[in-house]
Amino acid sequence: MLKFNSNKFERQMIDLKELMNYLNEALSSLPEDKYLHAFKKRLVEQITERANEITHTGIMDDKVIYDIIVGEHPDIRKEFADFKGEINATRERKSKIRKTILGSALYFAAVILIFLIVSFITHGWRRSWIFLINGFCLYFAYMSANIATEFAGKEKNFKPISRILFAFSVFTFAVPVFLIVLSLRAPHAWLVFIFAILVMFTVDGIFVEKEKIGFAIFFQIGYIVPALTMVYIIAATLGIVHWHPGWIIILLSIPIILAVILYRLSVNKKHKSFSEETEADSEWTEN
């Protein structure tokens, strides 16, 4: 079993035998493996550096140096468990990245191969490129949604990136849909993008609510008018409503906005009445 050697600290001119004993004792019952070996190596390096740093300040009392360092490592076994967890997490992350790279390469190879085979067999080069573009777009839509989901689970600063990526994903997904609709010679293919804007507003509205983003209400209210405008354009273009007086759909945003505001106010009022009820029992103390 690897034992800490106090000779490592000779250049500090201080005796850290006790510190080494503390470390050895804390880790004595653990099985010697590559994790423990790596952990011990790192810990010795850290402690050597820290001991040098403290000695540099001018302190001469070995016991105090011992207590400072021990105080900074109160639970070595937990540190080891964290270290092990960190290594495993890094390994998993690396493996995931490797799998993603390999999967992406295989996916692109398959898309290109299918594109070439289909094109050579059918000689339909004029349309087959759509398959290639769609393959790429679907990949980017999937990847950006995947990264957006991962960022959504991280700290606050990553939320805006997550929202941008979700919007990007929606639009990248709209491209193949648009190309398919266009290749089928269906009318008003451009409506796909109008619909994509509608979806983007909806997804972001749900996201800000679910993730409790500050001032979510302002985003939601802000989205209602443009979202209903998109509904109006789609409905009028498809002949579901007439252009006039179909524009009244946009005016519907006013009662919807009012309803949202009233709902928020009622929720806030509930909080307030809760505060009044519990004030007498609250633990408020004025010093």
Binding stretches for other proteins (CB under 8 A): 49, 53-54, 56-61, 63-64, 67-68, 71, 271-272, 274-275, 278-279, 282-287
Q: Using an 8 Å Cβ cutoff, are 146 and 104 in contact?
A: no
Cβ neighbors of 232 (< 8 A, separation 6 or more) are 241, 246, 247, 249, 250
CB-nearer residue toward other proteins: 244 or 276: 276
Nearer CB in complex with other proteins: 44/235: 44
Least spacing, CB of residue 64 vs other proteins, in Å: 5
**56, HSE (Cβ side, Cα atoms, 13 Å):** 6
Which residue number, 185 or 279, has a Cβ lying nearer to other proteins? 279
Nearer to other proteins, 68 or 252 (CB): 68
Distance CA 245, CA 39 (A): 73
Q: Give me the helix-helix angle, 125-152 and 76-122, nearest 10°.
A: 170
Residue 231, number of CB atoms within 10 A of its CB: 20
What is each CA distance from 104 to 110, 147, 149, in whole angstroms? 10, 14, 18
Q: How far is the CB of 148 from other proteins (least distance, A)?
A: 22
Q: Name the minimum Å distance from CB 156 to other proteins.
A: 9
In the complex, the smallest distance separating the C-beta of residue 216 from other proteins, rounded to whole angstroms, is 14
Closest CB to other proteins among 68 and 164?
68
Q: How far is the CB of 54 from other proteins (least distance, A)?
A: 7
**Tokens representing 194?**
């109008």
